[in-house]
């Protein structure tokens, strides 16, 4: 619904100077075009992308659409946001990158549910909102596992040596059996499988998935550092944000048979002089990143969480993935400690341990480059989980969930009334009409 000004260089089919996602010099050649065609209700005095060319969908064939900050038109699908053209000529540019993993996972779940019986129930939609599967792990972890499996066939000594390390082999087997979910794996952790805010002892499967989530997340950080960051840092270029870096890495790995690690820019992101082949370059960087991640998990950076342990069973995700609901005035008002009403569950580790992770549907993201005990924390999450079902001739069914409580006053019993249920993905009826409200509240 916004207005997208057209740029003179892009409209001429080229890029003059820095690409449009950087600050441009403003010296001409890449300015916004003055308006010559006024669109209905237009506010800015520049030529804008016509509304019919803005991303939109009408009566989608699948019967649904997904909006989760993902790429709505597919302009970044091939990792090049500048190679689409407008019907009338010129480059169609919308944005250099999006959060595509949440939208992708939602689409995946909707298609799976519709494939079963053609319907999605109210409860199934709520379960989707509670999903904590790492879609980027579905895309990237198989490449790491394949690197390990193929290491014996390589001719680079370091590659075989890495695959021969028992700790690397153990980590790979954990990732191989992992279902890509992110449970806390600790009794102090809040998970969607818990009920009504009450904690439970994690199952053996939850513990195993929790450890795998930790290992993968630490590896993700190191492989970004060793490929994307090492390349752009060496050229003095700005690093892409985590979402874009992971999308870049996925694009490079999935097309490695043809691109050999070289991006659209012409840069080679998998440079390893000691490798005997391009495939060994790739596999060496992937496995070395895993070994470095294990070093870090057992080292000082994670000592507050794992106390220097080399036992991978100790690497529980809930000891890293923690939320603090920050109050604008900070201090005791934040949760925890909520003025003493909600104590910090893990001594020495701030925040509340909860499931989720990087770009999960149940939003609980952190930096894609996180690599210390407090780097995987987050300070937000779903400000409202809402599901509505419109029923012809009947009152609509609506349920919601909010974090915190109904009072903003520290010390009030209602300051965090809703918190535990929000942490375990419970909901309550959402009243939408004045008539339905009558008689539901009493004076305090």
**DSSP string spanning 314-346?**
G--GGGT-EE-B--TT-GGGSBTTGGGTS--SB
DSSP structure class, residue 241: P
Distance of alpha carbon 197 from alpha carbon 150, whole angstroms: 45
Percent above pLDDT 70 for the chain: 98
Cis peptide before 337 (omega within 30 of 0): yes
Predicted confidence at residue 440, as pLDDT, reads 54
> What is the distance of C-alpha 323 from the center of its chain?
15
**DSSP string spanning 121-147?**
-HHHHHHHHT--B-HHHHHHHHHHHHH
Pairing of strands 322-323, 428-429: unpaired
Give the helix/strand (H/E) hosting 429. Answer: strand 428-429
Q: Residue 121 — very low, low, confident or very high, per pLDDT cuts 50/70/90?
A: very high
3-state secondary structure of 133: strand
Predicted confidence at residue 24, as pLDDT, reads 86
Q: Residue 167 — very low, low, confident or very high, per pLDDT cuts 50/70/90?
A: very high
Count CA atoms within 13 Å of residue 68 on its CB side.
19
Predicted confidence at residue 328, as pLDDT, reads 86
- Of residues 70 and 297, which shows the higher confidence score? 297
Edge-to-edge order in the sheet of strand 428-429:
385-389, 397-401, 428-429
Tens of pLDDT, residue by residue over 338-356, are: 988 999 999 999 999 999 9
Write the Ramachandran bin of 180: left for phi over 0, alpha for psi from -120 to 50, otherwise beta: left
Residue indicated by tokens 């909901």: 427
Predicted confidence at residue 437, as pLDDT, reads 66
List of residues 6+ apart from 237 with CB closer than 8 A: none
Residue indicated by tokens 């529980």: 316
- Record the pTM: 0.88
The whole-number average pLDDT for the span 198-205 is 94
3-state secondary structure of 428: strand
Tens of pLDDT, residue by residue over 258-287, are: 999 888 888 899 988 888 889 999 999 999
The whole-number average pLDDT for the span 231-237 is 89
Distance of alpha carbon 16 from alpha carbon 35, whole angstroms: 20
Predicted confidence at residue 439, as pLDDT, reads 57
Distance of alpha carbon 136 from alpha carbon 426, whole angstroms: 26
Predicted confidence at residue 444, as pLDDT, reads 37
Residue indicated by tokens 């820019």: 265
In 3D, which of 237, 193, 262, 244 has the Cα closest to residue 369?
Answer: 244
Name residue 323's beta-bridge partners: 352, 378
> What is the distance of C-alpha 365 from the center of its chain?
5
* 8 Å CB contact between 185 and 166: no
**DSSP string spanning 52-98?**
GGSS--SS-TTS----SS--SS-TTTTS-TT--B-TTSSB----S--
Strand blocks (E) in 265-424: 322-323, 352-353, 385-389, 397-401
**Other Cβ atoms closer than 10 A to 122:** 13
**Structural tokens at position 380:** 């937000």
The whole-chain average pLDDT of the chain stands at: 91
* 8 Å CB contact between 184 and 158: no
**Structural tokens at position 155:** 């001719």
> What is the distance of C-alpha 332 from the center of its chain?
29
In 3D, which of 83, 84, 10 has the Cα closest to residue 46?
Answer: 10
> What is the distance of C-alpha 361 from the center of its chain?
8
3-state secondary structure of 278: helix
* 8 Å CB contact between 414 and 406: yes
Q: Residue 442 — very low, low, confident or very high, per pLDDT cuts 50/70/90?
A: very low
Our CA angle for 141, 144, 150, nearest 5°, is: 140
**Other Cβ atoms closer than 10 A to 201:** 8
Predicted confidence at residue 405, as pLDDT, reads 85
Residue indicated by tokens 């021969």: 164
In 3D, which of 304, 46, 72, 336 has the Cα closest to residue 190?
Answer: 336
**Structural tokens at position 333:** 């008002």
**The pLDDT of residue 301 is above 80:** yes
Tens of pLDDT, residue by residue over 361-406, are: 999 989 899 999 999 999 878 888 999 998 888 888 899 999 988 8
**Structural tokens at position 212:** 């795998």
- Of residues 363 and 440, which shows the higher confidence score? 363
In this structure, the chain runs to a length of: 444
The whole-number average pLDDT for the span 162-174 is 95
């Amino acid at each position: 619904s916004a207005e997208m000004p057209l740029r003179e260089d892009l409209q001429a089919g080229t890029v003059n100077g820095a690409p449009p996602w950087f600050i441009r010099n403003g010296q001409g050649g890449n300015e916004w075009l003055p308006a010559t065609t006024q669109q209905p209700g237009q506010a800015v005095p520049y030529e804008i992308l016509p509304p019919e060319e803005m991303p939109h969908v009408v009566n989608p064939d699948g019967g649904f659409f997904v909006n989760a900050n993902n790429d709505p038109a597919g302009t970044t699908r091939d990792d090049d946001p500048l190679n689409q053209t407008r019907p009338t000529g010129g480059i169609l540019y919308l944005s250099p990158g999006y959060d595509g993993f949440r939208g992708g996972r939602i689409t995946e779940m909707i298609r799976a549910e519709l494939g079963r019986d053609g319907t999605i129930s109210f409860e199934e939609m709520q379960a989707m909102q509670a999903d904590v599967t790492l879609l980027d792990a579905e895309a990237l972890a198989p490449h790491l596992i394949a690197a390990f499996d193929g290491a014996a066939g390589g001719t680079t000594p370091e590659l075989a040596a890495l695959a021969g390390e028992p700790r690397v082999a153990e980590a790979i087997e954990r990732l191989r059996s992992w279902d890509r979910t992110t449970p806390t794996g600790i009794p102090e952790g809040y998970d969607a499988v818990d009920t009504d805010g009450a904690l439970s002892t994690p199952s053996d499967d939850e513990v195993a998935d929790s450890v795998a989530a930790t290992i993968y997340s630490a590896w993700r950080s190191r492989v970004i550092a060793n490929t994307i960051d090492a390349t752009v840092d060496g050229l003095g270029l700005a690093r892409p944000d985590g979402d874009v870096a992971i999308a870049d890495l996925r694009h490079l790995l999935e097309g490695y048979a043809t691109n050999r690690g070289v991006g659209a820019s012409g840069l080679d992101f998998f440079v390893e002089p000691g490798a005997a082949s391009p495939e060994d370059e790739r596999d060496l960087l992937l496995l070395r990143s895993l070994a470095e991640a294990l070093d870090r998990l057992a080292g000082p950076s994670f000592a507050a969480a794992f106390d220097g342990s080399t036992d991978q069973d100790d690497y529980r995700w809930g000891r890293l993935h923690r939320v603090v609901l920050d109050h604008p005035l900070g201090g005791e008002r934040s949760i925890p400690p909520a003025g003493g009403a909600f104590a910090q569950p893990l001594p020495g580790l701030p925040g509340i341990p909860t499931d989720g992770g990087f770009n999960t549907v149940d939003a609980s993201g952190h930096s894609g480059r996180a690599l210390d005990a407090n780097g995987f924390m987050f300070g937000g999450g779903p400000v409202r989980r809402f599901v509505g079902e419109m029923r012809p001739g009947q009152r609509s069914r609506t349920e919601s969930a909010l974090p915190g409580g109904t009072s903003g006053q520290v010390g009030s019993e209602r300051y965090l009334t809703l918190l535990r249920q929000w942490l375990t993905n419970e909901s309550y009826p959402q009243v939408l009409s004045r008539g339905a409200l009558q008689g539901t509240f009493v004076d305090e």
